[in-house]
């Protein structure tokens, strides 16, 4: 199980969810958009290369399409091809496996599509605002997130445990002591979110999220909201689209 998310990049042009979703109703205490999906969602080569920033959108596509009818899954070849095209990765040259920026992936998803699926916009979610995160998952069907992974997370994963923050803290709890990782999240409850990574669901606590997640995007996907389906309550789709017209690629 490999990582591969590059450090968060700030772009002042990136739309913020708080600016376009107003007067939100309270989010439900729990939401699970993965109920109809199988337990194994596919590794998508993230055990062979650092393509996690391209795998997480593929998992979101599974969520969107699985809730609208038949789940569609990008193939390993599709994911590899996107990772190679976006980063210059060459499987024959391990030194080119340098991971990717989530913001670059999101921009490409918006401008050119990804795996034949298109999005109208993406907005940055305040990772430190638990209610905004819950609202994004509830309204958009999930979020695309990046975490500064502590080495303890690998130890907990190897032990089959959820990700939590025990005390007292040690050097294994330091952010980035393992590396950067991109994941999807389409489920939460009172205890915390469930992340989709390495083909499976991984529990984490809200405290763990607060300590390590530093980059979150909600995506306005044509697979989730199309012309025949009303936008989720409180989602200002027109405002997002109008703003998108004013933002350079």
Mean of all residue pLDDT scores within the chain: 90
Q: Is residue 189 part of a domain?
A: no
What average pLDDT does range 86-113 have in this prediction?
97
Collapsed DSSP state (helix, strand, coil) of residue 94: helix
Question: Is residue 182, in this structure, part of any structural domain at all?
Answer: no
Q: Is residue 75 part of a domain?
A: yes
Is the pLDDT score of 151 beyond 50? yes
Tokens of 7: 């450090």
Task: Determine, yes or no, domain membership for 48.
Answer: yes
Containing domain of residue 38, as a range?
17-143+218-245
Which tops the pLDDT comparison, 249 or 140?
A: 140
Q: Is residue 106 part of a domain?
A: yes
Q: How far apart are CA 95 and CA 108, in angstroms?
A: 23
At residue 125, does pLDDT exceed 60? yes
What b-and-e string marks burial along 169-205, b requiring 16 or more CB atoms within 10 Å of the CB?
Answer: eeeebeeebbbbbbbbbbbbeeebbbbbbbbebbbbe
Residue 154 lies in a domain: no
Q: Report yes or no on 207 lying in a domain.
A: no
In the 8-state DSSP scheme, what is residue 29? Answer: S
pTM across the whole model: 0.92
CA angle 191–194–197, rounded 5-degree value = 150
CB atoms closer than 10 angstroms to residue 78: 16
Residue 153 lies in a domain: no
- What's the total number of domains in the chain? 1
Residue with the bigger pLDDT between 163 and 12: it is: 163
pLDDT tens-digit series, residues 187-242: 999 999 999 999 999 999 999 999 999 999 999 888 887 756 654 434 556 655 66
What the block records as the tokens of 135 is: 């609202």
Residue 35: is its pLDDT beyond 80? yes
Phi, psi of 86 (to 5 degrees): -80, -25
């Amino acid at each position: 199980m490999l990582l591969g998310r590059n450090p968060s990049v700030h772009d002042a042009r990136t739309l913020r969810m708080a600016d376009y979703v107003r007067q939100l109703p309270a989010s439900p205490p729990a939401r699970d958009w993965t109920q109809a999906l199988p337990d194994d969602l596919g590794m998508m080569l993230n055990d062979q290369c650092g393509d996690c920033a391209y795998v997480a959108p593929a998992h979101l596509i599974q969520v969107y399409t699985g809730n609208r009818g038949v789940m569609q899954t990008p193939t390993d070849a599709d994911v590899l091809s996107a990772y190679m095209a976006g980063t210059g990765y060459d499987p024959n040259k391990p030194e080119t496996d340098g991971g990717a920026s989530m913001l670059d992936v999101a921009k490409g998803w918006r401008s050119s599509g990804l795996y034949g699926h298109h999005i109208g916009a993406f907005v940055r979610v305040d990772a430190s605002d638990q209610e905004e995160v819950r609202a994004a998952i509830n309204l958009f069907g999930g979020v695309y997130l990046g975490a500064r992974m502590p080495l303890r997370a690998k130890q907990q994963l190897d032990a089959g445990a959820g990700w939590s923050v025990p005390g007292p803290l040690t050097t294994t709890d330091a952010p980035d002591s393992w590396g950067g990782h991109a994941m999807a999240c389409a489920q939460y409850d009172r205890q915390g979110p469930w992340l989709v990574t390495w083909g499976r669901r991984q529990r984490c606590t809200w405290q763990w999220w607060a300590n390590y997640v530093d980059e979150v995007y909600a995506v306005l996907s044509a697979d989730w909201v199309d012309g025949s389906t009303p936008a989720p309550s409180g989602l200002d789709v027109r405002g997002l689209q109008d703003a998108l017209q004013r933002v350079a690629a």
